[in-house]
A and B are shown apart, each in its own frame.
Chain A
Amino acid sequence: MERVPITVTVNGRRISAVVEPRMTLADFLREELGLTGTKLGCEHGVCGSCTVLWDGAAVRSCLVLAAQADGANITTIEGLATDGTLHPVQQAFWEAHALQCGFCTPGMVLTAVALLAENPNPSEEEIREALSGNLCRCTGYQNIVRAVQLAARHERAGT
């Protein structure tokens, strides 16, 4: 298999690499870049654990190839906090006890970030709808929904 050259921006850093055509974006991030915060829960696009932001939109990195990401701007969970300060969504997840084992958390947080960027004032129903592509087996979702509501309030208040 002929390897493919790509240039991709990950968490603000421009990276040039040569990848196997069949390597998924998730494996590229995890294995090649060491960004293991992106999780693999099903590898068939259902659980949402591998969610990353692709030009700001939530995307399942297990379903796209690294080669397709040429030119893209990717944000992973490692790129969210700035200078050691948690992103408002991360902070809200902490305050609302929206995580237990933590495995789904990176995907949940990034999905919530994408939602709030598009809709800063979502209803509970809209939040549940937006999160419905991400599975969590620990929390029962209620505290995750509350965390997103809390983050939305904080972001609107500019805190």
Chain B
Amino acid sequence: MSLQILPRGKWVGARVKRVEDPRFLTGEARYLADLQIPGTVHAAFVRSPYGHARIRRIDTSAARALPGVLAVFTAEDVATLPPLASGLPIEGLKPTPQTVLAKDKIRFIGEAVAVVVAENRYIAEDAAELVEVDYERLPAVTDAERAMAPDAPLLHEDLGTNVVYQKVTTLGDVDSAFAQADRIFRRRFHTNRFVAAPMETRGCLSVYERSSGQLTFYSSTQMPHMLRLFLSLFLGIPEHKVRVISPEVGGGFGQKMTIYPEEVVIAYLGKVLGRPVKWVEDRRENLAAATHAKEQIIELEAAVRNDGKVLGLKARLIGDGGAYSFNTASALIEPLAAAGIIPGVYDIQAYQHEVIAVCTNKAPVGAFRAVGWTAAQTARELFFDEIARELGLDPAEFRRRNVITSDQFPYTTITGMVYDSGSYQESLERALELVGYEELRRRQAELRQQGRYLGIGISLYVEPTAWGSEIALQAGFPFPSHDNATVTIDPTGKVRVAVSVHSHGQGHETTLAQVAAEILGVSIDDVIVEHGDTDRAPWGMGTYASRSAVIGGGMVALAAREVREKVLRVASRLLEVAPEDLDIQDGNVFVKGAPDRSLSLFQVAFAAYLDGRVRAEGEEPLLSATKFYDPRATYSNGCIVTVCEVDGETGTVHLDKIVAVEDCGTMLNPMIVEGQVMGAIAQGIGGALYEAMVYDENGQLLTDTFVTYALPTATEVPELIIEHLETPSPVTIGGIKGIGEGGLLAAPASVAGAVLDAIWPAGRAIEQLPLTPERVLAALGGETGV
């Protein structure tokens, strides 16, 4: 396969306004909650108010008696549905099956114990309050390290432990590295549990047609084909009789790539009740019961020479997985992904990691933009800042002495990742230049004299992207995948592109149209991109892990290429010249060097479909091709530098500006790349300074509203300065690399690093994120163990 089939030209690389925007701007776009199907009834879940309890008895009689209520289901009523279990084929990972409604016992606050179906949502919620559940409360454990203790309350008694995975891996000669070191450093970090919080909550709508046995299932999901497969297996409906439609999706960020118990329940209710059943969760449910993310306890140890060279690293990573090692995800995803990326952009030759996944009485953990990598990057970068200071080196200089340089590509890391290309040192130098680093350091010293705290944080990162089979394996997740595109030119010469990747804000209808337009020689106005409906899009995994630009772009390029060749073969017969002598531009097929000898794409397509004489032996009349793409591993990179000032009186952090230099190879549309970077950085600011899911020791969730769980607003996000470097990947079609996650991978380290830098050496005392005013003040006051 030629990687060069996708040239940069009129469309690829252009700042094209998004073609999908008008329907969002006018309110015409239809999300799950907006769908109205006649006869629909509404579901509300009864959720546990406790973190850990045995269910003694459930009395649904009062709820059932309420006028307008159709049904109340508990675990007993859905006993034919199999439990959800981890799909990760990893040796040593203990299973923690989760029934779709809690049976006998609940393990986190917000776990669903029953579901009510009523004529409208108001009645359903009233009835849910009438369901009486008699709980026997059990001691809870909400701290991962306490959960590992032999006397800790057990979540899954049959396992005899809360530790669902534990493994030590030694790579390279770690003992020698530590023996040869001039200095050994140690540091512990507890990264915060924060959440995707898409503005649209989860929801689904089940429509079952009894006469044909067909299920149409609408869901706010990132992966419609995966959901269809799972629903087919769970409900025992053959897959060809299941259609999943993901309408407009109001943000996912990984949270909507899980198959949720609620989805299975609603699908089932639609089938057994014979009425369309709709469920739209409220924000409280979303915060309590949709997947959480990113909480780890990471202990790092470094063997370092006095000149700053890091000889070896040790890491102990404890992932706080919550109550269940969750079906399509797992408690392992955070610490395992983190372990792989701890060396990051640095040339580390000896490394030992211990990966531990633990169950606690908290919501299960799932994917959220830069799974595992956010915590790993944060811990390592903050640790390296500290080592640099202890050695008397500038943090930037310390990074220079350890970073992988461009002459080392392709570079195989000690953990087995193959970095294909990049600009690691270049992005560091450019970001420092843009922010005015040397001048800032001088200013910092001046202000410190005046008792003011200016800080600069550097986060230099590599981002695994294009989540296909190879990179998944390199990152420790042996999960093969592929995605598919169908490109079709209809008889009137217009183009339809159907893809298995899914857009929930990423702008695929524009970027993938740009790819097709480039190759087919048409305007993007003549291209429509379809996704999200399993009946209209070809099979594939969906969108997650910065995969859609690379995989989507590649598969559309391949399919468009094949269609282009068909078009040229038909036109060559019509124009009586060889296909190689033809080109397509602006919707016209013409003879190279003789542009007046041309046919419109309409004429060629019409003939292809309706004039058998232009069809060669063995040629199909349809101008259509379906192609798959499963790319080689490719890695983006960049550097984020934050400048902040900390108020020594109040402990509050004022962000002055953030500079991000990123390199995602060939850009399909720089405007969309910038949007991805800026949005992810804003989430990173939230993670560094504001956002945390907090449970008390009884398992009570203290942050179940947007008042107590605070997202950054327009006044918290400072000026963001984005600059692109462009090192095309040598291993992917068109040289594209992904860009979705880098901002959230790297920004928390940059922002937190700036705060710790501002208040150093007091920052040494802080090990827990986010950096709230209380923690900052306590550190400044000299308290330890914050």
Chain A interface (Cβ within 8 Å of chain B)? Answer: 20, 22-23, 30, 34-44, 46-47, 49, 76-78, 80-81, 86, 90, 93-95, 97, 99-106, 109, 127-129, 131-145
A-B contact sample (9 more), CB < 8 A, given A23-B122, A41-B283: A36-B27, A36-B30, A36-B34, A39-B33, A94-B25, A99-B24, A103-B199, A139-B675, A141-B682
Instruction: Flag if A145 contacts B24 (CB, 8 Å).
Output: no
Q: How would residues 479 to 507 of chain B score, 1 for a CB under 8 Å from any chain A CB and 0 otherwise?
A: 00000000000000000000000001111
CB pair B714 A141 closer than 8 Å: yes
Q: Please give, as numbers and ranges, the residues of chain B lying within 8 Å of A99 by CB-CB distance.
A: 21, 24-25
B283 with A105: CB separation less than 8 A: no
B680 CB contacts on chain A under 8 angstroms: 140
Within 8 A of A (CB), among B239-289: 248-251, 253, 282-283
Question: Closest CB of chain B to A151's CB: distance in Å?
Answer: 12
Q: Are B21 and A76 in contact (CB under 8 A)?
A: no
What residue in chain B is nearest A130 (Cβ atoms)?
B714
Contacts of A49 in B (CB 8 A): 199
Can you list 19 residue pairs at the A/B interface with Cβ under 8 Å? A30-B34, A36-B34, A37-B26, A41-B199, A42-B282, A44-B283, A46-B705, A86-B25, A99-B21, A101-B248, A102-B248, A102-B250, A129-B714, A132-B714, A137-B196, A137-B679, A140-B679, A140-B720, A144-B714
- Least distance between A43 CB and chain B CB atoms (Å): 6
Q: Which A residues are CB-close (under 8 A) to B179?
A: none
Q: Is B706 a contact partner of A47 (Cβ separation < 8 A)?
A: yes
Return chain B residues, CB-CB under 8 Å to A140: 678-682, 717, 720
* Cβ-defined contact, A102 with B24, below 8 A: yes
Contact flag A132-B713 (CB < 8 Å), given A101-B200, A101-B251, A140-B679: yes
Those of B489-539 within 8 Å (CB) of chain A: 504-507
> In the assembled complex, how far is the CB of residue B367 from the closest CB belonging to chain A, in whole angstroms?
15
Q: Measured between alpha carbons, how far is A133 from B706 in the docked complex, in Å?
A: 11
How distant is the Cα of A48 from the Cα of B146 in the complex, in angstroms?
39
> How far, in whole Å, are A34 and B665 apart by their CA atoms in the complex?
44
Whether B26 contacts A42 by the Cβ 8 Å rule is no
Q: Which of B33, B672, B713 has the most CB of A within 10 A?
A: B713
- Chain B residue contacts of A127, Cβ below 8 A: 714
Q: Provide the bound-state CA to CA distance between A99 and B29, in Å.
A: 13
Report if B618 contacts A (CB, 8 A): no
Tell me whether A36 and B33 are in contact (CB under 8 A). yes
Which residue from B26, B34, B713 sits with its C-beta under 8 Å from A90? Answer: B26
Interface of A is mostly: loop
Q: How large is the interface on B (under 10, 10 to 19, 20 to 34, 35 or more residues)?
A: 35 or more
Residue of A nearest to B24 (CB): A102
B26 with A100: CB separation less than 8 A: no
Q: Are B715 and A86 in contact (CB under 8 A)?
A: no
Task: Tell me whether A137 and B251 are in contact in the complex, defined as CB-CB below 8 angstroms, given that A42-B283, A131-B713, A142-B719 are known contacts.
Answer: yes
Contact B249 A44 (CB under 8 A): no
Whether the pair B250, A101 counts as a contact (CB closer than 8 A) is yes
Bound together, the chains give a CA A135 to CA B30 distance in angstroms of 20
**Complex CA–CA separation, A98 to B16 (angstroms):** 14
Q: In whole angstroms, how far apart are the Cα atoms of A80 and B23 in the complex? A: 13
In the bound complex, how far is the Cα of B281 from the Cα of A40, in angstroms?
Answer: 11
Is A101 within 8 A of B505, CB to CB?
A: yes
List residues of chain B with CB within 8 A of the CB of A81.
Answer: 25-26
Given contacts A101-B250, A137-B683, contact A80 B26 (CB under 8 A): yes
Please indicate the chain B residues that have their CB under 8 angstroms from the CB of A44 in the complex: 283, 705-707
Give every chain B residue within 8 A of A144 (Cβ-Cβ).
Answer: 714
CB contact between B711 and one of A23, A90, A93, A135 (< 8 Å): that residue: A135
CB distance from A109 to the nearest CB of B (A): 7
**Residues in chain A near residue B149, CB distance under 8 A:** none
Residues of B within 8 A of A145 (CB): 714
Residues of B contacting A20 in the complex (Cβ-Cβ under 8 angstroms): 122
